[in-house]
Amino acid sequence: MASKSRISPLFIIFIAISPFAFLGHGEFDDYSGVIPSEPVDIMSPAPTPEPVRSRDQRRISPLVPAMFIFGDSLFDNGNNNKLHSLARADYYPYGIDFEGGKSTGRFSNGYTMVDEIASQLGLPLVPAHTEAAGDKIRHGVNFASAAAGILDNTGRNFLGRIPFNQQLNHFEGSLRQFAQILGEDDTPQILSKSIFFVGMGSNDYLNNYLMPNYNTRHLYNAKQFADLLIKQYTQQLTRLYNLGARKFIVVGLGELGCIPTMLARNETGGCLTDVNNLVLPFSMKSRKMIFNLSASLPNSKFTYIDTLALNKALNQNPQASGFTVTKEACCGIGRNKGQITCLPFQTPCSNRSQYVFWDAFHPTEAANKLFAGRAFNGDKDVAYPLNIKQLVKL
Ligand SMILES: *[C@@H]1O[C@H](CO)[C@@H](O)[C@H](O)[C@H]1NC(C)=O
Ligand SMILES: *[C@@H]1O[C@H](CO)[C@@H](O)[C@H](O)[C@H]1NC(C)=O
Ligand SMILES: *[C@@H]1O[C@H](CO)[C@@H](O)[C@H](O)[C@H]1NC(C)=O
């Protein structure tokens, strides 16, 4: 057991940003019942495996020329490593199951969801923007950054991070490089066939609205805040379209009230209902946003990955997918191993493929692979209106 003084800097940070003192006052709009709670049996039986499944197997020829990734810590693969940031994962035991056991900056024991999607698309792992130079960018670039949000000031408690607007600036900046590698004339066509994967929003709740040192919750109710986010998100996705993107995958928010850091705050061990209800309007409007955007932007195609539906299905029958531990992080400290997230050199659980959560906030590689597989092959309940396999064929 680490002595208190050794862990104190991180300890203090995680205590200092604990946001939940105000919860349970009933100040959120009640959205329970907006989403049908009918069990959706989408986790079993398992789908027929795709020909290309993992890093261990021979690569098929890519189904798309490239994938560009924008998002937060669920998708970051090292962009924060060189920032003065508290949102970093470039230390053991992060990456313990990654190639060579390497701590790359991924917030996972191994693959993230986009790693698995890249693999299923027949692409090499997409390089982080910080490492993408020369020919390496041929198959895309990952611009995602832990603690980043749709709103620029989201995640500022973590200091360094690259908000979505800045990720878009980075993409715009790399277009010239891209044209040099692929040829000026071919680039627009190649971009139009490439996948643009976007997963933002979690931090606008976890590291903005729910933080005591932010005033957003005094200014907006749940619905108004969702409107604010969706308005900005719509503009950001439109900007991406104007820069050449045509095929979009937009990943929705999961059950934020059910991640270990939240579970640790409920005496009875259940999900925090208020947190789940808080994010519901954003999830509902995200779907509508996709619909609106595909109608208003010529030749655009959008796929919405309904992480909420994926989470619910998994929680209803975790055993069907091989999970036995759904409420406790594999690496972390305190109740649900969710009160303090995975610390440097902490020993993680050994049976990691049975855990849904790797740390207080992020899924394991096993869960990421499951979600990616459903996004790739799943039906309209989880990938709307098209799954990734259908999207790439258009
Ligand atoms: C705690 O969990 C229970 C279910 O076990 C749930 O009914 C209750 O609403 C939760 N409490 C809060 C504050 O969310
Ligand atoms: C979708 O478009 C309609 C009609 O323009 C608009 O009223 C609505 O606010 C839009 N919704 C979202 C979530 O973008
Ligand atoms: C896996 O971890 C859980 C939780 O610690 C434990 O209950 C279970 O016995 C472990 N299984 C194996 C095979 O080690």
Q: What is the 3-state secondary structure (H, E, C) of the chain?
A: CCCHHHHHHHHHHHHHCCCHHHCCCCCCCCCCCCCCCCCCCCCCCCCCCCCCCCCCCCCCCCCCCCEEEEECCCCCCCCCCCCCECCCCCCCCCCCCCHHHCCCCCCCCCCCHHHHHHHHCCCCCCCEHHHCCHHHHHHCCECCCCCCCCCCCCCHHHECCCCHHHHHHHHHHHHHHHHHHHCCCCHHHHHHHCEEEEECCHHHHHHHHCCCCCCHHHHCCHHHHHHHHHHHHHHHHHHHHHCCCCEEEEECCCCHHHCHHHHCCCCCCCCCHHHHHHHHHHHHHHHHHHHHHHHHCCCCEEEEECHHHHHHHHHHCHHHHCCCEEEEECCEECHHHCCEECCCCCCCCCCHHHEEECCCCCECHHHHHHHHHHHHHCCCCCEECCCHHHHHHC
Name beta bridge partners: 325.
355
Residue 48's pLDDT band (cuts 50, 70, 90):
very low
Q: Is the pLDDT of residue 83 over 80?
A: yes
Q: Looking at residue 206, what is its pLDDT?
A: 97
* Dist CA 174 CA 183 (whole Å): 14
Kindly list the domain boundaries of the chain, sorted by start residue: 64-393
Q: Is the pLDDT of residue 131 over 70?
A: yes
Distance 258 CA to ligand 2 centre (A): 29
Q: Identify the nearest ligand to the CA of 270 by its number.
A: 1
Q: Looking at residue 40, what is its pLDDT?
A: 37
Show the ligand 1 pocket: residues with CB < 6 angstroms.
Answer: 24, 266, 268, 270, 272-274
* Dist CA 378 CA 117 (whole Å): 13
Q: Is the pLDDT of residue 108 over 50?
A: yes
Q: Looking at residue 269, what is its pLDDT?
A: 86
Q: Answer whether 247's CB lies under 8 Å from 391's CB.
A: yes
Distance 354 CA to ligand 1 centre (A): 25
Show the ligand 2 pocket: residues with CB < 6 angstroms.
Answer: 230, 234, 285, 288-289, 292
Q: Is the CB of 48 under 6 A from ligand 3?
A: no
Q: Is the CB of 37 under 6 A from ligand 3?
A: no
pLDDT tens per residue, range 249-283:
999 999 999 999 999 999 998 999 999 999 999 99
Please indicate whether residue 84 is annotated as part of the active site. Answer: no
Residue type, 119: S
State which ligand 3 atom lies nearest to the alpha carbon of 351: 1
Distance 302 CA to ligand 2 centre (A): 16
In degrees, rounded to 5, the angle at the alpha carbon of residue 116 between the alpha carbons of residues 271 and 292 is: 70
Cα–Cα distances (Å) from 364 to 24, 75, 77, in that order, read: 29, 12, 14
Percent of the chain with pLDDT over 90: 82
Distance 288 CA to ligand 2 centre (A): 7
Which pTM does this prediction carry? Answer: 0.87
Q: Is the pLDDT of residue 284 over 50?
A: yes
Strand order in the sheet with 195-199: 67-71, 195-199, 247-251, 301-305, 383-384
Distance 46 CA to ligand 3 centre (A): 23
Please indicate whether residue 359 is annotated as part of the active site. Answer: yes
Q: Identify the nearest ligand to the CA of 287 by its number.
A: 2
Q: Answer whether 273's CB lies under 8 Å from 255's CB.
A: no
Q: Identify the nearest ligand to the CA of 304 by its number.
A: 2
Residue 133's pLDDT band (cuts 50, 70, 90):
confident
CATH of domain 64-393: 3.40.50.1110
Distance 223 CA to ligand 2 centre (A): 14
Q: Looking at residue 78, what is its pLDDT?
A: 98
- The residue whose CB lies within 8 Å of the most ligand 3 atoms, and thus the one to mutate among 323, 324, 357, is 324
| Nearest alpha carbon, ligand 3 atom 12 | 351
Nearby residues of 285 by Cβ (< 8 Å), 6 or more positions away: 226, 227, 230
The catalytic residue among 72, 73, 170, 204 is: 73
Instruction: Summarize the confidence of residues 69-90 as an average pLDDT.
Output: 97
Distance 6 CA to ligand 2 centre (A): 51
- The residue whose CB lies within 8 Å of the most ligand 1 atoms, and thus the one to mutate among 259, 266, 335, is 266
CA quadruple 37, 303, 294, 162: dihedral positive or negative?
positive
Judged by average pLDDT, the poorest of 4-8, 112-116, 155-159, 200-204 is 4-8
| Nearest alpha carbon, ligand 2 atom 3 | 292
Please indicate whether residue 73 is annotated as part of the active site. Answer: yes
Q: Which of 14, 88, 3, 36 is nearest to 280 (CA)?
A: 36
pLDDT tens per residue, range 208-229:
999 999 999 999 999 999 999 9
Q: Is the pLDDT of residue 393 over 80?
A: yes
Q: Is the pLDDT of residue 54 over 50?
A: no
* Dist CA 150 CA 169 (whole Å): 14
